[in-house]
Amino acid sequence: MDQLNNYLFISAILFSLGVFGVMTRRNGIAVLMGVELILNSANLNFVAFSRFGGMNLDGHIFGLIVIVLAAAEAAVALAIVINIYNNLNTINVDEASTMKE
Amino acid sequence: MENSFILYSLLILFLPLLAFVIQIFFGKRLPREGDWVSIGAISITLILAITMFVKMLLVGDPEFKHEASIVWLDMGAFTISLGFLVDNITIIMLLIVALISTCTHIFSTEYLKGDIRYSRYFGYLGLFTFSMNGIVLANNLMSMYMFWELVGVSSYLLIGHWFEKDSAADASKKAFLTNRVGDIGFFIGIMLIYSAVGSFAFTDVFDGVASGMIAGTTLTFAGVGLFMGAMGKSSQFPLHIWLPDAMEGPTPVSALMHAATMVAAGVYLTVRIFPILTPDALLVVAYVGGFTALFAASIAITQTDIKKVLAYSTVSQLGYMILAVGTGVYTAAFFHLLTHAMFKANLFYGSGSVIHSMHHALHEKHDHETDPQDMHNMGGFKDKMPITYWSMLISTMAIAGVPLFSGFLSKDAILAGTLSFAQHHPEHLLLPLFGFGAALMTAFYMFRMIFLTFHGEPKMPELIDDIHESPKEMTGPIVLLGTLSVYIWYTLPNNLSPMSSYGWFNPKLDNHNFKGGLVHPIDSSVPGSISALEIAEHAHHAHHMAMYISIAVAAIGIFLSWFIYIKKGLSVNALAERAGFLYRWSFNKYYFDENYNKYLYQPTLRLADKVSWLDWELYDKYFINGFGRLTNWASKVTGKFDFDVIDQLLVDGTGKIANLIGRKFKGVQTGKLQNYVLYVAAGVIILMVIQSF
């Protein structure tokens, strides 16, 4: 059980780092990297529960699906960032507020 | 062959309707105002009817019967079918209608020449024929009732053809309303039967009666109800009042109406429904018919208007037919309907011819005061109008029951049936007395009419030079129908004796069986009734006695008439004086119109006045207007509530609140991505805190 706590602990740190990155970075790419950290913390949880929590292979499968999703999400998100750059000449997410009233 | 009968029937039914539609919409624009359209259509129906008739004779099957029907109205358990029933009676009736109708059309081209509504008149004739054919062909009570009403409407239109005259307009209304009284009974009868049997079709109804689905008093009431319809249409006492007034219509219409279409419908109905009439109902029928026969004849004796005499003679003859149905010899009633159609139509054409000629003569003299229909203005027309005279004389002999003429055969059959009925039920001795009494009077007043019109000295000598025979269009039908009043047409092909009615129509009794003839009576469906064969045998036994009595009374009637009006053996005025109140009663038609007016119409009108006062003064003023005021007040209150509360407070309030909330929360929308993420994180933390408790 100790081992599971360790994994969860690491996962929590990773998650917090990700949230911190998403909340503080102005650079769009950095925000995406924060999102990746959050996703991977979740992956770590899945795998840990799979190993120690009796979920058998279900957790592994979920981990794989999340990786695939993350890849797809990264592709779409990077495309958005490139478009923002093309239109606004910056990737600072604070500048992308033209839809504000 | 059966299918061709249905096809012919369809054509016979709808051709006159087609003519009606063409006449109403295009009649005025066609050459000759389109009378040839109507005549063409009606002639085709005549040809078809003759074809059917000949086929019927060739087949010679008294049991021949063919039905076809379609579902007209389907409401789940309740369906109404419309259909045709073609049997020998139908075919004979179709021929009567088509023949008389064709004659009427041709006769009218001359009689109504130059009339302002010439084309419409022919259209209505078509409608009339269509409706009557519908009744004749109906295989169920419902479609018969529908066509029944159509006959009422078309008679209304034709009687009121000259509606500028108040008397004609009143007569048409009277005919229609009097008929309605009978129709209510008819409708009640139909409903009684339907509620018990669950079907309108004659065959189902007969089966239902035979199996006891409807019996006893209910069946009697249903039968009397149906018969009330016949009383209205066939103008039986006490609903006879409309028929004499209906003489206001053009004379050819009277011929059509009295011979083939309208009044025949009532008799035809009773002939059709005979199997379901209970003995009690039949007694009602017999007494109504017998009384009408005598009563109408007693009025006809004193009338001076040539058409009125004929009108009452029709009522009387219809009474005969109804009497025959009531005493069970209903095929004799139908036989009399057939012979009567020919001679009565002819008598009306003849009177039309006389009136036409009187009219012209008076016109020449610029006399518009003298009544061209009053027999007291006629006399001595015999040599001036020989064709009219001779054929009218033949028809008069037929109606009076002189041997060698058609009326003798059918009247004899009826009187024999009535006599045998009284022999087996001595308490109903009145019935044959009604019958023979009416026969005596009929012979008297019909010859009185002939003598006053055609014989003796002209009563208006200044007119006699201008009296001429009518044109061919009018004499043609007269000659044709006069010929058809001779007995031989009804006893062919195997009996030439004028004393027996055995022929293509009537069967002969042979060894307790019907032999030959196409119209065999069928047994009553009412359980326990006497069979048709027994009735026929009883009538056969009474046949000779009835024949001698009827010849005797006809001879007495004719002799009296000759003695009074030709020989002047008795003064008419002195006789009228001597008869006193009897004469006055007869002359004034027993004051029926006056008494109906005094005891029926006026009280009804007074009641209507009272009710209308209630309606207007109380109901309208207080209830309806009060209700209006109340509604007005209530609408004002609700209007105020609607504006002040709903609109101002609720509707506008909702908008204002939404606006306010929107304004307050606008600031949250910063457009900075990290702010949103912060909100999300804060939300998650708050949820986790809540969760942890």
Residue A101 with chain B: CB contacts under 8 Å: 666, 669
Residue B677 with chain A: CB contacts under 8 Å: 19, 22-23
> Min CA distance, A26 vs chain B (Å)?
8
Give me the amino acid identity at B546.
Answer: A
> Min CA distance, A99 vs chain B (Å)?
7
What is the rounded end-to-end Cα distance, in angstroms, of chain A?
Answer: 52
Regions of chain B short of the pLDDT cut 50: none
> Min CA distance, A22 vs chain B (Å)?
7
> Given the structure tokens 């065959």, which residue do they identify?
B203
- The β-bridge partners of B78 are B75
Beta-carbon contacts of residue B609 (< 8 Å; ≥ 6 apart)? none
Residue A35 with chain B: CB contacts under 8 Å: none
For residue A100, the model assigns a pLDDT of 65
> Min CA distance, B681 vs chain A (Å)?
8
Spatial distance between the Cα atoms of B242 and B663, rounded to a whole number of angstroms:
88
Helical residues (DSSP H) of A25-57, grouped into ranges: 28-52
Residue A23 with chain B: CB contacts under 8 Å: 674, 677-678, 681
Taking an 8 Å cut-off on Cβ atoms, the answer to whether B674 and A24 are in contact is: yes
Taking an 8 Å cut-off on Cβ atoms, the answer to whether A94 and B669 are in contact is: no
How many beta-carbon pairs below 8 A join chains A and B? Answer: 27
Test mutation, B665, B672, B678, B685, chain A, max A CBs within 10 A: B672
Nearest residue to B476 (alpha-carbon basis) of B102, B103, B105, B108: B103
DSSP class per residue in B512-523: SSEES-S-----
Q: What are phi and psi of B78, to 5 degrees?
A: -105, 110
For residue B85, the model assigns a pLDDT of 86
* Whether complex ipTM tops 0.85: no
Taking an 8 Å cut-off on Cβ atoms, the answer to whether B674 and A22 are in contact is: yes
For residue B2, the model assigns a pLDDT of 59
DSSP class per residue in B598-650: IIIIHHHHHHHHHHHHIIIIIIIIIIIHHHHHHHHHHHHHHHHHIIIIIIIII
Count the Cβ atoms, other than its own, within 10 Å of residue B131.
27
Interface of A with B (CB under 8 A): 19, 22-24, 26, 31, 93-94, 96-97, 99-101
Judge: domain A2-88, CATH 1.10.287.3510.
yes
For residue B187, the model assigns a pLDDT of 92
Asked whether A36 and A74 are in contact (CB, 8 A), the reply is: yes
Nearest residue to B231 (alpha-carbon basis) of B340, B138, B322: B322
Nearest residue to B385 (alpha-carbon basis) of B413, B421, B403, B360: B360
Q: What is the pLDDT of residues A30-43, one digit of tens each?
A: 989 999 999 999 99
Q: What is the pLDDT of residues A46-64, one digit of tens each?
A: 888 888 877 778 888 888 9
Taking an 8 Å cut-off on Cβ atoms, the answer to whether A93 and B674 are in contact is: yes
> Min CA distance, B668 vs chain A (Å)?
11
Angle at the Cα of B114 (from B112 to B117), degrees rounded to 5?
75
So where are chain A's domains? 2-88
Residue A93 with chain B: CB contacts under 8 Å: 672-674
Closest B-chain CA to A35: B677
